[in-house]
Amino acid sequence: MARLGLRPGTPFSLEAVDAAAIEAAPAATQRRMQAAEPRLNPLVDGWGFATSGVGVYDTDYLRRAVVAKFDLGANPPDDAVYPVAYLDADGAVPSGDRDYVLHFGAAALPPADAFWSVTMYDGAGFPVPNGLERYAIGDRDPLHYNPDGSLDIFIQHEDPGEERRPSWLPSPRGPLGITMRLYDPRPEVLDGGWTPPPLVKA
């Protein structure tokens, strides 16, 4: 702030600073945030999965800005973890023009002692109306588990049919914003012993 001429108790004059630099700052900052994002939110099977440095930032303003871009007011990892699906199992950006299955093995269901969910947004980060009025799905819903105790969540635009409908998360067309939430995550989430499964094309 001092480099811009902002000092306590002294007048500020825009003419005394480099106005072009100020005008260029937002775009430059966005580029810096984008470059830092993979380091601050490392990918595991296509999911950005930060389990440290969230919710308490001290003077790490870059990390704070990157987190606020997606999870303004995010909780510390001990309270909640928010994996975000950046890529599917084939390395492509998730799209509502494709059908996906998110498969959790019986021994690999999301380990959260409060609750877990998977929420659907469009590419701009907004919920999209659908016939079921279902914008998230998780352990508080009457999910349909497989005979072996595993769970398949069907992420697609079209209704998958009566048998699969209880485990269907409707998706809009175009780019998708899929966020998982694990509240009161168990230790295996925080130490890397558990990670979300990849989004597999159906």
pLDDT digits (tens, 9 = 90+) for 109-138: 999 999 999 999 998 889 999 999 999 999
For 22, the enclosing helix (H) or strand (E) is helix 19-40
DSSP 41: S
pLDDT in tens, 55-80: 788 888 888 888 787 667 778 889 99
> Which band of pLDDT confidence, cut at 50, 70 and 90, is reported for residue 52?
confident
> Which band of pLDDT confidence, cut at 50, 70 and 90, is reported for residue 102?
very high
pLDDT in tens, 169-184: 999 999 999 999 999 9
Q: What are phi and psi of 34, to 5 degrees?
A: -65, -40
Q: What angle do CA 30, 36, 40 make, to 5 degrees?
A: 130
pLDDT for 126: 92
pLDDT for 158: 96
Of 167 and 25, the one with more pLDDT: 167
pLDDT for 71: 67
pLDDT in tens, 74-92: 788 899 999 999 999 999 9
> Which band of pLDDT confidence, cut at 50, 70 and 90, is reported for residue 50?
confident
Q: Give the architecture (CATH level 2) of 32-201.
A: Sandwich (2.60)
**Dihedral over alpha carbons 6, 10, 13, 14 (to 10 degrees):** 10
142-159 average pLDDT score: 97
